[in-house]
Structure 1
Amino acid sequence: MPQQDQKHIVVRRADRPGDLGWVVMAHGEAYDRQFGWNTDFEALVARIVADYGTGHDPAREAAWIAEVDGRRVGCVFLVAGDQPKVAKLRILLVTPEGRGLRLGTRLVEECLTFAREVGYEQVTLWTNDVLTAARKIYQSFGFTLADEERHHSFGHDLVGQNWTLDLRTTAVNSDS
């Protein structure tokens, strides 16, 4: 008989009605609560999600939702970059309700597996240095810091960071 505290965890494609809207809302709420970021951040996420929702190439781009007991608690997107063999990992989020279950790692792993399967050679991402949990996940998969720059966004002084992963020289990390 299953234990009472055992959770039903699913990582699936973000292809159901409400998924895209949830991504925008969850980012806005989580980043306001945790960092006090204003709606400029939510607007950025909305643009990323709208671009994906209206024009993504399913053969080369995908998004995933993590659920715990049927409730959405996380997401990540992989979209084509500016160069043919380069993809971008975008808008990784695990809400407070989903933290501690290694869902961030599972979402990034889904992204990187898909990126390799469809022939990308490199994955890049942009983040901010205050997102320490996400950075640890990226580093565990072999992402390296390419550069960083101070900026004022979302109502705060931040340090933006660009990270890169060469898929030709790194294996999928399943033990992080």
Structure 2
Amino acid sequence: MADDDGRRRSVIRRADRPGDLGWMVMAHGELYAEQFGWSTDFEALVAGIVAEFAAKHSPDAEAAWIGEVDGERAGCVMLVAGDEPGTAKLRVLVVTSAARGLGLGTGLVQESLAFAREAGYARVTLWTTANLTSARRIYQRFGFTLTGEESGHDFGHDLVSQTWSLDLSP
């Protein structure tokens, strides 16, 4: 379903359709296993994050989005309340291999940060791993800064966990 000029059409919408939350879990499990050889422990982590959102999210303070390309799910992100007042967490950002390079990841993060500002958050944090360089470039483009690193063994691999933070105050 390309535009008249042959470009692929992408949209970002709320993750409010049947199958959206399940797709988030499945996409993470499949993509991270394929690209990085990560175990199902990672899929289980994402499943827990998504399940908690599904069961408990506050629509005024938390939201999730799906990015579509030519009518097919191709990416997602979630913004949830953090552990500290005034802080939100950016969670489960992923873009499928076929949709990379279309600006979908940037659009998803932009949408979630606009929501965070509208919801009154002062700060957004996120957790990632050092090997996810494309995602890190997106975070840096929006002004996130690295606030912590820790080496460990997760999902069947030695990884460097990273915490990033963005101050939303004017």
TM-score by length of 2: 0.97
Q: Secondary structure at the match of 1:59?
A: coil
Quote the Cα distance in structure 2 between the aligned partners of 1:97 and 1:15.
Answer: 23
Match of 2:105 in 1: 104
Q: How many residues align?
A: 168
Match of 1:147 in 2: 148
The root-mean-square deviation of aligned C-alpha atoms, in Å, is: 0.9
Match of 1:54 in 2: 55
User: For structure 1, which runs of at least 5 residues remain unmatched after alignment?
Assistant: 170-176
Quote the Cα distance in structure 2 between the aligned partners of 1:127 and 1:32.
Answer: 16
2:22 pairs with 1:24:
no
Match of 1:123 in 2: 124
How far does residue 9 in structure 1 lie from its aligned partner after superposition? Answer: 1.0
2:79 pairs with 1:78:
yes
Match of 1:168 in 2: 169
Quote the Cα distance in structure 1 between the aligned partners of 2:149 and 2:77.
Answer: 22
User: For structure 2, which runs of at least 5 residues remain unmatched after alignment?
Assistant: none
How far does residue 97 in structure 1 lie from its aligned partner after superposition? Answer: 1.4
Quote the Cα distance in structure 1 between the aligned partners of 2:139 and 2:123.
Answer: 13
Quote the Cα distance in structure 2 between the aligned partners of 1:168 and 1:34.
Answer: 36
How far does residue 151 in structure 1 lie from its aligned partner after superposition? Answer: 1.0
Which letter maps to 1:138?
Answer: Y
Moved over 3 A (4+): none
Q: Secondary structure at the match of 1:15?
A: coil
Quote the Cα distance in structure 2 between the aligned partners of 1:160 and 1:27.
Answer: 17
Quote the Cα distance in structure 1 between the aligned partners of 2:46 and 2:30.
Answer: 12
Alpha-carbon deviations, 1:66-124, whole Å to 9, x = none? 00111000000000001120000001000001101011000000010000001000000
Match of 1:158 in 2: 159
TM-score by length of 1: 0.94
Quote the Cα distance in structure 2 between the aligned partners of 1:48 and 1:115.
Answer: 18
How far does residue 146 in structure 1 lie from its aligned partner after superposition? Answer: 0.2
Q: Secondary structure at the match of 1:142?
A: coil
Aligned residues: percent identity? 65
Match of 1:33 in 2: 34
